[in-house]
Amino acid sequence: MEAMMKELEEMMGSADFEDMFGNVMSQLMTRDMLYEPMKDLVGKYPEYLDANASTISEEDMTRFRGQQRLIVEILQVYDDPAISGEDEGKRVADLMQQMQEYGNPPEGVLTDLAPGMGVGADGMPAFPFPGMPGAGADGNPDCCIM
């Protein structure tokens, strides 16, 4: 096991791995992959924030509004015909990185988009599918793949 971990660490530091990872991320950040989910996500924010304004802390409200602003900016990049290809990918990746710094979207927004899925105590999505971490009525964290 130790040898396998060492090989993985060496591979992760290689230029080939970085190129492969960059290509995968670029493909995931395309308009075809992200536009509709981002459009759905940004549409949920105003209703959620208005309905929960009295229970959301000032700090969380600032984070959530920051997320909303960045999603709007991502959609603007996709909608701008002057931005495409590698430039589009770089801009979207930068905005996604900024959005990640704000943490997870509000749980109520996620629940609307993916009914049954919540956020666990660790801040990671809790999947409602049997065998997935956090699944089941007993909250069994075991994964059927492991």
DSSP letters for the chain = -HHHHHHHHHHHTSHHHHHHHHHHHHHHTSHHHHHHHHHHHHHHHHHHHHHTTTTS-HHHHHHHHHHHHHHHHHHHHHH-TT--HHHHHHHHHHHHHHHHHT-SPPHHHHHHHSTT-EE-TTSSEE--STTSTTBTTTTB---TT-
* Residues 5-54: tens digit of each pLDDT: 777 677 666 666 656 655 556 566 788 888 998 999 999 999 999 999 99
Instruction: Write out pLDDT tens, residues 65-105.
Output: 999 999 999 999 999 999 988 889 889 989 999 999 999 88
0.85 surpassed by pTM:
no
Distances (CA, A) of 119 to 6, 21, 114, 125, 143: 32, 26, 11, 4, 17
